Structure formats: C-alpha cells, structure tokens
Amino acid sequence: MNTDIWSERNESSLKQKIVCAVLAAMLIQLTACSESETDLKNTSANESETSSEKTIDPLEGLNFDGEEFNILYIGNTSTKNLIRADELNGDVMNDAIYDRNIDVLNNLGVTVTYTEASSSTNDCPDRIRNSVMAYEDAYQMGIIHRVDGIADLTLNNYLYNYSELPYIDLDAAYWNKDSMQIMSYHDKMFYGYSKLYPISTFCIFFNKTIAEQCGVGNLYDVVRSGDFTIDKMAEIVKMTAKDLDGNGEMTRDDQFGIAMRNPTILSGFYLSAGINLSENHGDSVELSLYSEKTVDLIDKVLELISDDTVSYMRKSDDLTIRSGQIMFYLDSLDNANGHRDSDVDFGLLPYPKYDKEQDEYISFANPNLQCVPITADKELAGAVIEYMAKHSEGVTEAFYEKTLKGKVAADSDSAEMVDLMMNNYIVDFATNYCGFSNGCTKLYNVLSILLNEGNDNFTSFYYTYAEQAQAEIDAVLE
C-alpha cells in the first residue's frame, strides 16, 4: 500500500473532522445565543406583563349606570359634617366631600345619597337590622356608633365581612387593617377604619401663655425627645397651678394645671401607655388591663387628678381651654374646631407615655364604625367604598391640614403633633363590643370612678368586675 496516499487521506480526513467539529461548536453556540435571547425576551415580556398587571386598577372601567349608593349615618352634627355634602357651600370639609362624591359619579357612574338616622345611638343598628330582615337593599353603608348594637349586628350576621367584599384592598395605606383585626370577630372583619371617614383621637390642648409664664419650656421638643411621660406631665401640672385671687383657696376663679371635657377621656392615660382593656387572639379575647404596670400608672394618675390644689377634675367641661385658666385640657381632636375662635393661644399634644422606655406615643381612637349591611349589592358596595377610601386625599387634607392644622393648630409644631397622633392610633375590642355592659364599662372608666369615689385601691376594684367583664366578652364570642 502506498503510505503517502494513506497519509494524505488520513490528513484530509482529520482536517474534515476538525472543520466539522468547529462548525458543530459554532452551531451550538449560535443556538444557545438564540435561546438565550429568546429567554431574555420572554423574561422581559413576562416582567413587563407582571408589572403591567400590578399597575392595573381593578376599579378602572367599572360603570354602574346611575346606581345609588346610600349611606346611613347617626344623626348628629359631628358625624354629618364628616360624611355628608349635598352641594358646594364654601366650607372646606363640605366641599372636599362633595368633590369626592362627584368623582364617584364621574368614574363609577354612582350617585352618593344619604339617610340621616336620629341622634339615638341605637337607631342606625335598628334600621340596618330591619332592612336586612325585610331583605331590602336599603343601605349600602352605615356610619354607626362605636358601641350601641354592634355586637347584635355581628352575632346575627347582618353585616358583610370586609375581606369578602370585592375590590377592597385592606393592605393599602388608606385602610387601618391592624385596628380592623383588633375589632375582628373570629377573624372576620365586620367594621372598618379607612380614610373614607376621618378618625379622631384623644388629645391634650395646652395653654402656650401659661407655659411661657411658668417657664415650662418648649413642650413640642419635650414630646420629640420622648420625654413627655406621665411623670413629666405631673411635674408641669403642679408648677402651673396658681391661686390667682390670693385667698388661700383653689376655686373656679383660679388657674389649674389640668382639666377635662368629660370623665371617659381619662381612660386615655392607660391606653396611651400601651395598656389595653382587652387583647384579641382571634378565637378568643381576654382582659388585659391588670398588671404591675397598670397598678403603678393608676396610682400616679389618681394622685395627680385627685389633688384639688392643682387639678380641676370634679366638674367636667366647666373650665375648658377657652377659659385661659387651664394648662392641660383633656379632649379629642374632633372638638378642636369648637375652640378655634378662642382668644387663648393653645397647642395640641398627644397623651403622655408611661415612661421614657416606651417606644412611641399612642393615641386612642374613639370613632364611629363603617359597616356594610349583608343585603347590600356586594359589587357596588365594594367598588364605591374602595374608591372613596382610596380617593379621600382631599377630605383628609380638609379635616387634618385645613380644619385642624390651618384653622386650629396654626403653628407647624401642633400640625406635627396631629400627624403623630393620627399615624399611631389604637382601638379596643371590649371597649366597643361591650362598652355599654356593666363589667367592661366599669373597667374602662376605672379612673373616673375611682376619682369620684375617692378610692385608690385599683386592685380591689379590678377584681370586683373582672369576672363579669370577661363573661361579657365571652358572650359576644359564643
């Protein structure tokens, strides 16, 4: 055999194999690149679709063709001013609510209407109950008293669970889901807290002139530093009380360190200290008022408010912040407008912390409740309520920034305090569901009752009513 020919053939074959191998490698690389580009395009497309899905408003494109959305509300002036507007009249709150209603009409094709109940706290629950029993879709929403009748509406399934309503996003910032969970019944949320209806909290009005004359210092800075505690407040109360007429007695004509609008407002002292009347565990709710911390706090507050030489607490709403004779006046934010024409230069503060170690200031909210009767059109109710809650910036601005901050708290410091209170408010299950029952009512009003009785034995008082109060809570959950 000619070895040269064999050699040439082998060499040619080898070259062919090398070329084939190179071409194969190139083909694989090109295929991989193509697949990679395809995957990249698909991934980008998927991400784009996901992003697009996230930004889609589920309310967009809805049209209820002129349906009416009727809001039933308790017939008092304060509630009416926060929810109803029939026409523009130049009032900032009224006009903001009216503009929101027009937005609902323009974007959802729904006309917002109203039914005003009587001022009796049980009238709204009675009307809802009667309409449901008659299978009538009379009301699509209720703004009802925080206590009267709410347990009955819950126990007898007269209301929708908010988590069952379409369109509503309870994780959105304009809903207070934490408070709704506190008020939940077996993990069902029948009562809502949202921007749709402005929330008011307990607060303290303070007299700036008295503070300056007595060398109190900048109270806003005291709050900001975390030092506004019950001890600090007691110190200021004592240093600002004065016998103005010099007769050696403290009478209505003198200057006091503290006064209150009504006795129930005293509960704000323990609630702002992070002490709740009850704790909701989902399937059970237990009393949580009693502890060593509570005993200590009650002792400190009673010592302060029972001292008639510095506190004017025996008669509620007799001397107010408007008198110019009170350093600290216990009230709630929704009453701020009642003082806006006063000549007294006053500011707003949250209730004090228990001590400096407490992480943050806590404000107790005592609002009416938002609910949806079970006979309401679910689609309509869910869509309108979500839209109104989501698009209530103007209403919130009118209530807090214009009405409270602009007209009442003209200084930016008090405006900051309003934000502080509104951004960290709490509610309580037993205070609402059992608020008119004997045991829970007694414990909720423990400070005012002990003050009026001249009794400083909190432990004995607590155990007198604790068993009854727990039974009242358990009865709601059965």
**Using one digit for the tens of pLDDT, what is the confidence trace for 334-374?**
787 777 778 898 999 999 999 999 999 999 997 899 999 99
Two tokens, residue 311: 């506190």
Q: Is 36 exposed, middle or buried (0-12, 13-18, 19+ CB in 10 A)?
A: exposed
**Using one digit for the tens of pLDDT, what is the confidence trace for 42-72?**
544 454 444 444 567 889 999 999 999 999 9
Looking at residue 406, its pLDDT comes to 64
Half-sphere exposure (CA, 13 Å, Cβ side) for 281?
Answer: 8
Query: Amino acid identity, residue 279?
Result: E
Looking at residue 403, its pLDDT comes to 65
DSSP E strands, 163-272: 202-207, 256-260
Measured CA to CA in angstroms, residue 30 lies from 18, 36, 43, 140 at distances of 18, 10, 19, 63
Measured CA to CA in angstroms, residue 192 lies from 279, 388, 397, 426 at distances of 18, 13, 20, 13
Looking at residue 407, its pLDDT comes to 56
**CA–CA separation, 295 and 291 (whole Å):** 6
**Residue 305 C-alpha from the chain's centroid:** 28
Looking at residue 188, its pLDDT comes to 93
Tell me the CA end-to-end span of the chain in Å, nearest whole number.
Answer: 105
**CA–CA separation, 376 and 390 (whole Å):** 20
**Residue 374 C-alpha from the chain's centroid:** 24
Query: Amino acid identity, residue 362?
Result: I
Two tokens, residue 214: 């007595």
Sign of CA dihedral 418, 363, 174, 190: negative
Sheet containing 141-144: give its strands across.
110-116, 67-73, 141-144, 369-371
Cβ within 8 Å of residue 359, ≥6 positions away: none
Closest CA to 385 of 138, 225, 163: 163
Do the Cβ atoms of 427 and 365 come closer than 8 Å? Answer: yes
**CA–CA separation, 327 and 346 (whole Å):** 9
Please list the ranges in the chain whose pLDDT falls under 50: 1-41, 43-45, 47-53
**Residue 228 C-alpha from the chain's centroid:** 22
Sign of CA dihedral 271, 262, 79, 419: negative
Half-sphere exposure (CA, 13 Å, Cβ side) for 363?
Answer: 25
Please give the model's pTM, rounded to 2 decimal places. Answer: 0.81
Two tokens, residue 196: 């749709």
